[in-house]
């Protein structure tokens, strides 16, 4: 059941995004579009409640509960950025908005950009780890929490790998081609 709710939330995210932007730009109803876009966080609340109820009803914590926590963490941390990214492209395509600004390619500006991206992903992993820890406390130490701990380890890997990738742009900045 949890996996089904995760899929529904993901599909719902994109449906709400498409409807909100269609109302904003195609139907020329920006307030209605904003209202639809503001409904997206409700999807995460629904998933959180369904997961908590499932655990409270005695479900053994497994990979699905961990996946729900990770999904919520990443949606909370990256959802706004995704909406802004898509919004800029739809505004450019359908509403004569300015062309989206591409990320910098070289030097310090690129390193700063990579640290911002890595920071958002690390925040997402941190939120997921917090939700996983809350689930561990919620279930109690008696339950089979091994899969939740495994997800926490994966989130530590996400944090570490993002720090390494962003760090390489700092230590070895890509130089603009000469000529």
Angle at alpha carbon of residue 132, lines to 164 and 40, rounded to 5°: 90
- Give the Cα separation of 8 and 6 in Å (integer): 5
Looking at residue 126, what is its pLDDT? Answer: 98
Looking at residue 81, what is its pLDDT? Answer: 95
- DSSP letter at 102 equals P
Looking at residue 179, what is its pLDDT? Answer: 74
150-163 pLDDT, tens digit per residue, is 999 999 999 999 99
Give the residue from 20, 14, 44 showing the smallest Cα distance to 32: 20
Kindly report the number of other CB atoms within 10 A of residue 5's CB atom.
20
- Give the Cα separation of 125 and 77 in Å (integer): 9
Output the CA torsion sign for 65, 67, 71, 77.
positive
- DSSP letter at 141 equals T
In this structure, what token pair is assigned to residue 6?
A: 């995760």
Looking at residue 151, what is its pLDDT? Answer: 97
Looking at residue 39, what is its pLDDT? Answer: 95
Regions in the chain scoring below 70 on pLDDT:
142-143
pTM (2 d.p.): 0.92
């Amino acid at each position: 059941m949890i996996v089904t709710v995760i899929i529904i939330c993901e599909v719902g995210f994109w449906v709400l995004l498409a409807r909100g932007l269609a109302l904003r730009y195609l139907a020329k109803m920006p307030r209605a579009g904003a209202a639809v876009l503001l409904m997206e966080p409700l999807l995460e609340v629904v998933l959180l409640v369904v997961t908590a109820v499932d655990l409270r009803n005695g479900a053994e914590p497994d990979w699905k509960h961990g996946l729900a926590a990770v999904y919520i963490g990443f949606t909370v941390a990256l959802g706004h950025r995704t909406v802004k990214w898509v919004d800029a492209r739809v505004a450019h395509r359908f509403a004569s908005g300015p062309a989206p600004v591409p990320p910098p390619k070289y030097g310090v500006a690129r390193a700063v950009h990579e640290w911002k991206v890595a920071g958002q992903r690390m925040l997402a992993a941190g939120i997921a780890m917090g939700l996983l820890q809350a689930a561990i406390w919620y279930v109690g130490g008696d339950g089979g929490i091994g899969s939740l701990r495994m997800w926490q380890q994966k989130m530590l890997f996400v944090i570490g790998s993002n720090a390494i990738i962003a760090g390489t742009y700092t230590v070895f900045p890509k130089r603009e081609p000469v000529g």
